[in-house]
Amino acid sequence: MSNKKHLVILSGAGISAESGIKTFRDSGGLWEGHEVMEVASPEGWRKNQKLVQNFYNQRRKQLLECEPNQAHLILAEMEKDYKVSIITQNVDDLHERAGSSTVIHLHGELKKAQSSVDPSLVYELDHWEIKEGDTCEKGSQLRPHIVWFGEQVPKMDEAMEIVSTADIFVVIGTSLQVYPAAGLVDFVPVSSKVFLIDPVNPAVGFNKKVFYISENATSGIKTLEKMLKTEI
């Protein structure tokens, strides 16, 4: 059995931004010029499938042009010294492409499609576009494999279990405003060390001491490495 400490990372849009991936939501609450519920809800899908499909096709096309940044690569390298589990709110595959071996996607995966009648039917995509008429084995139109507002977060139980075994818990690039993901902080063991890497320290309801690293993802993870080596 490995005696490596369990390092659990909760990552958000801030880590992918350094790879050139736009955060979906801007300061006005719009997602690429659209109201959130138009492109990220079952109601929006029922109302205008073409709009929703195009929105995610363009996000997928952009992703194919992006590469993992140094923050992703450092986290993958940390598997040499720690048991690393990454729980991400991001729908890109940059953690995997950087070499991380355990990645849980809370909000789905952009490079996958799912049946619009049976969410258990999920398919890998080797291209950026889901077209009208692309169907699952049940004959239903394929939709983005994204957890929309109002839908269950299927990986939540697995994420809670992982967090509950963390020796070190690190939040990177997320303001922890989106639930249920933000609720994961409640499952961090009392004995764990908690670090929060973000240029703007968000108000987080940890009932314990938090080490704040007020930096962007890459420089913050480098600082984290130094702090862990000195065994705070």
User: Which residues are known to be catalytic?
Assistant: 107
Measured between alpha carbons, how far is 156 from 36 in angstroms, rounded to an integer?
Answer: 22
Measured between alpha carbons, how far is 26 from 3 in angstroms, rounded to an integer?
Answer: 43
CB 211 within 8 A of CB 61: no
∠ CA(30), CA(119), CA(157), 5° rounding?
85
Measured between alpha carbons, how far is 57 from 138 in angstroms, rounded to an integer?
Answer: 22
Q: Strand, coil or helix: what is 231?
A: coil
Q: Are strands 6-11 and 83-88 parallel, antiparallel or unpaired?
A: parallel
Evaluated on CA atoms 34, 37, 39, 40, the torsion sign reads positive
Q: Which residues contact 171 (CB under 8 A, 6 or more apart)?
A: 10, 12, 185, 194, 195, 196, 197, 198, 204
**DSSP for 172-197, written as a single string:** ES--S-STTGGGGGGGS-TT-EEEEE
